[in-house]
Chains A and B, each alone.
Chain A
């Protein structure tokens, strides 16, 4: 966890809904639209970065309390 206030994925989704809602309203300027778009794309990146998209082996704690790959997982 970094020092920045990090949003949960749910919070990110809520922010995205809000941004899209604002953009879809007619009365935002082009500048505002670009700013909202940029913020939205950043929020998307944030949400995406929350899920580490690498496959991980199932780990099991051994008797020494250390993690090792769980062999029972065929």
Chain B
């Protein structure tokens, strides 16, 4: 017999290739209970999946965990593992290389979720035409959520910060577990009947099972039929429920729901203040404009008053009088100085002055002025007046010069 002898590596490599060539082993999901679950320091998770009769080794590498594992897996968990079956040739072992691990039952829930979502979408319950607008200035806000936990406190805190005067009415609801859906529904119906401005329906984060009540059809219908606008606020950003689709508005978190529901009171007060200022300014401006025009008219009228005309004439008259007087004065002054000059000259011509200088004034016997020898004969008497008296005498001789 021509019997080949193979090395261990050759055999394991052969088996490895068979596994990797197999279509079914390349991508499968299998369910079982977790045991021997070990979190390796490198981040890999090693565990065994078993059912009543059998067991298989599994590994989830660290790199797959972020996407593939959303819960903390522990021994005893019933899970569905999706991945491939491969051979670990150093040990000649085959094992499941997991890409995704979900709690068993979650898959069912997800299917139910998708089915209901489709059904309600088809029935038109998510249509935007049914979405009620939220009030811009809500003063009464209803909240359907658990009375304990972060959600209710976040809603109250954010609401009061935005509007310290808001009235919050809480319906303390059971938001998870048996009876959660009826509790939420009765909360919605109860607050809806109170004539509030808006209702927040929600809860904080949790597993898909924890949030499940918000995926129940009856809850969706209660939200849809409410007359009051409803904001859904379930879990975290990434959690999406049927309630979110049917609500008038979806908030990513309870805090965000409170932000959406409440206006900022200070903004409102500031807006009123601005309007008040604008009204006052507009009226002041109007009045100022009119007062200015009145003043302008007043000024123009004043200028046109008859008294002003008379006053103006009087002023002109008095100016003229002043001018006249000054002209007159100038003229008089001129005459006066001429007079002074003339009198000076006249003074020079005065006979008395001449006499004072040693001249004499000759008169004949009859007192007539003598200025030529022709007027006299020898023997005539004459008189000479000098400065301090007169000399009388008779002509003894006359001779021509």
Chain A residues within 8 Å of B, Cβ to Cβ:
8-10, 13, 16, 19-20, 23-24, 28, 30, 33-34, 36-37, 40-41, 44, 47-48, 50-56, 58-61, 65, 67, 70, 72-73
Contact = CB atoms under 8 A, between A and B. Distances in A.
Nearest to B283: A37
A10 B282 contact: no
B272 interface: yes
Interface of B: 135-137, 139, 147-148, 152-153, 156, 164-172, 190, 265, 268, 271-272, 275-276, 278-279, 282-283, 286-287, 290
Contacts of A55: 164-165
B272 A10 contact: no
B272 A73 contact: no
A61 B191 CA distance: 9
Contacts of B168: 56, 58-59, 70
B275 to A, nearest CB: 5
15 contacts: A8-B135, A10-B137, A23-B283, A23-B286, A28-B286, A30-B286, A30-B290, A33-B282, A33-B283, A33-B286, A37-B282, A41-B279, A55-B165, A56-B168, A72-B153
A5 B376 CA distance: 144
A61 to B, nearest CB: 5
Nearest to A63: B172
B172 to A, nearest CB: 6
B268 A60 contact: no
Contacts of A30: 286-287, 290
A72 B268 CA distance: 29
A20 B278 contact: yes
Contacts of B290: 30
A72 B149 CA distance: 10
Given A8-B136, A13-B271, A51-B165, A23 B282 contact: yes
B282 A20 contact: yes
B309 to A, nearest CB: 33
Given A23-B286, A37-B279, A56 B190 contact: no
Given A44-B272, A58-B156, A67-B169, A34 B283 contact: yes
Given A24-B282, A37-B283, A56 B275 contact: no
A27 B276 CA distance: 21
B286 A70 contact: no
Q: Which are the 7 A-B pairs with shortest beta-carbon distances?
A: A23-B282, A60-B170, A33-B286, A40-B279, A58-B168, A9-B137, A56-B167
Nearest to B169: A59
Nearest to B141: A58
Nearest to A25: B282
Given A19-B279, A53-B165, A59-B169, A72 B271 contact: no
A26 to B, nearest CB: 8
Contacts of A72: 147-148, 152-153
B305 to A, nearest CB: 27
B272 A47 contact: yes
Contacts of B190: 61, 65
A60 B275 contact: no
Contact of A54 (B147, B165, B271, B278): B165
A70 B282 contact: no
Given A9-B137, A60-B170, A51 B275 contact: no
A70 B165 contact: no
B169 A20 contact: no
Contact of B275 (A16, A36, A58, A70): A16
